[in-house]
Amino acid sequence: MEYIKRGTSAFKNTNLALFAGGFSTFAILWGTQPLLPEIAREFDVSPAISSLSQSSTTIALAISLLIAGSLSDVYGRKSVMTFSLLASSILAICTGFATGFHTLVAGRILQGITLAGLPAVAMAYLGEEIEAKSLGMAMGLYISGNSIGGMSGRIISGVLTDYFSWHFALMGVGIISLLSSIIFMTLLPTSKHFKPQTFKLKSLAGSLFSQFKVPGLTFLFTIGFLLMGGFVSLYNYIGFELIAPPYSLSQTVVGFIFIVYIVGTFSSTWMGMLADQYGKKRILPLSLVIMLAGVVTTLHPNLLIKIIGISVFTYGFFAGHSIASSWVGRLAVHDKAQASALYLSAYYAGSSIGGTVSGSFYHQWNWPGVVWMIVLLSLISIGISMRLGRRKLPGTI
C-alpha cells in the first residue's frame, strides 16, 4: 500500500482534517488562559492559583497521553481521535456552567483526560501514513492548526468574556470545537498502515520504558519539557502585565495579543520544510535561539516592541516544537504512538510545572522574573539540541 504523497487529494484531506482536529483540541485546551485575570478576580485567588484552571488541564493531559497513545495501538488511530474530539467539545460546553473555582478545575481536569486522544495519536498517524519526504510539511501544517486553534480559542474567549461572561466564552469555544470535530470525522482517511495490537499492561509498561533507550529520544523529550515550560509561562502572565498600569489594556485587547500565533502557523510549516532540506540538527538550535531573542525583547517597556518580542518568541517556539516532534517520529523504532505520547507528556508536564512555578517568579519579581526564568530554560534547550545534533541518528543530516 502506498503512502500519502504531497499534492494528492488524500494529502489535502489529511492535512485539512488534522488542521480542524488540532484547532478544536487547542482552542479548548487554551481557552481559559487569557481569562486568568478574570478568574482570579471573580474567585478572589492569586495569579498562581488562578493558573490551576489551566495547569490542571495540561497535567491531566500529560498523564492521559501515555494511555491514549497505547489505546490507539489497540483500537485504531482515527477512532480514538474522533472520540477525543467529540467528548472534549461536549465537556467544554458543560464547563461553561461552572459556578465555583473547584468545579471549574474539576471540569478542566476531565477535559485534559479526553483531550489526550488527538495529540497522542496525530503524530503517529502522520508518521505511518505520510511518505518520509512529505512528513516535515505535513507535521508543520498539523501544528499550524494547533497554533491557530490556540490563538482563536484565546481571542474568542477574551472577546466573549468582555461582552458577556467567561461562562459564555467557554461554551462558545465548545460549540465551535464541536463543528470542527465533525469536519475531522468527515475528511480524515482511514489508516492503511496501522496494525492493531493486543492490550497487555505488562508489555505496555516495558515498551514505554524501552523508548528511553532509543538514542536521542530522551533529549527530545527534555527539549519538549523545557520549550513548553517557557512558552506557557510567557502567555500565562503576559495578560497580568498588560492589564495592569501603565498599559491598562482591556480583556478584549489582551485576547487579541494572541493573534501573534499567526507567526507560529507560518514558522511551523516553513521551518519544518527547512529542516527537511537542511537538516534538523541545524534548524532546531536556530529556532531555539530565535525564541530566546524574542523573550529578552519583551523586557522593553514600549508596548509595540514588547509585542514584536512576543511574536519573535512565538515564531521560534512553534518552529522548535514542529522540528522536535517530527524528529521523534523518525527516531522511534517501535510503537511510534507511544514515543509521540511520551514526547507530548513531557511537553505538557513542562506546561503545568513551568506555568505554575513561573507564577511565583511573577509574584516575586514581576515580568522580569518570568523572562529570566524562560531565558534559563531556553539556554538549556539550546545546549541539549546542539549535543543532540552531534550524534549520528536516523533522520539527522
Q: List pLDDT tens digits, range 301-349.
A: 999 999 999 999 999 998 898 888 878 867 766 666 677 778 888 888 8
Indicate whether 2 belongs to any domain: no
Task: Report which of residues 57 and 65 the model is more confident about.
Answer: 57
Total domains, the chain: 1
Indicate whether 157 belongs to any domain: yes
Q: Which structural domain, as residue segments, surrounds residue 280?
A: 9-188+201-389
Rounded to whole angstroms, what are the CA distances from 4 to 22, 31, 72, 115? 19, 33, 20, 26
pLDDT band at residue 291 under the 50/70/90 scheme: very high
Indicate whether 71 belongs to any domain: yes
DSSP 128-175: HHB-HHHHHHHHHHHHHHHHHHHHHHHHHHHHHHHHT-HHHHHHHHHH
Please tell me the distance from the alpha carbon of residue 235 to that of residue 221, in angstroms, as a whole number: 22
Please tell me the distance from the alpha carbon of residue 123 to that of residue 328, in angstroms, as a whole number: 9
Model confidence at 234: pLDDT above 80? yes
Q: What is the reported pLDDT for 179? A: 93
Mark out the alpha helices in the chain (DSSP H runs).
9-29, 36-43, 47-50, 52-75, 77-95, 101-115, 117-129, 132-163, 166-187, 201-210, 217-243, 251-257, 261-278, 280-297, 303-331, 336-389
For 216: left if phi > 0, alpha if psi spans -120 to 50, otherwise beta; the answer is left
DSSP 33: G
Quick check: 292 and 375 in contact, CB under 8 A? yes
Mean pLDDT of the chain: 84
Indicate whether 178 belongs to any domain: yes
Task: Report which of residues 288 and 393 the model is more confident about.
Answer: 288
Please tell me the distance from the alpha carbon of residue 223 to that of residue 47, in angstroms, as a whole number: 26
Of 63-67, 337-341, 360-364, 380-384, least confident by mean pLDDT is 337-341
Indicate whether 395 belongs to any domain: no
Of 40-54, 74-88, 179-193, 324-338, least confident by mean pLDDT is 324-338
Indicate whether 196 belongs to any domain: no
Please tell me the distance from the alpha carbon of residue 229 to that of residue 139, in angstroms, as a whole number: 21
CATH number, domain with residue 219: 1.20.1250.20
Indicate whether 396 belongs to any domain: no
Nearest to 69 by CA among 326, 268, 334, 393: 334
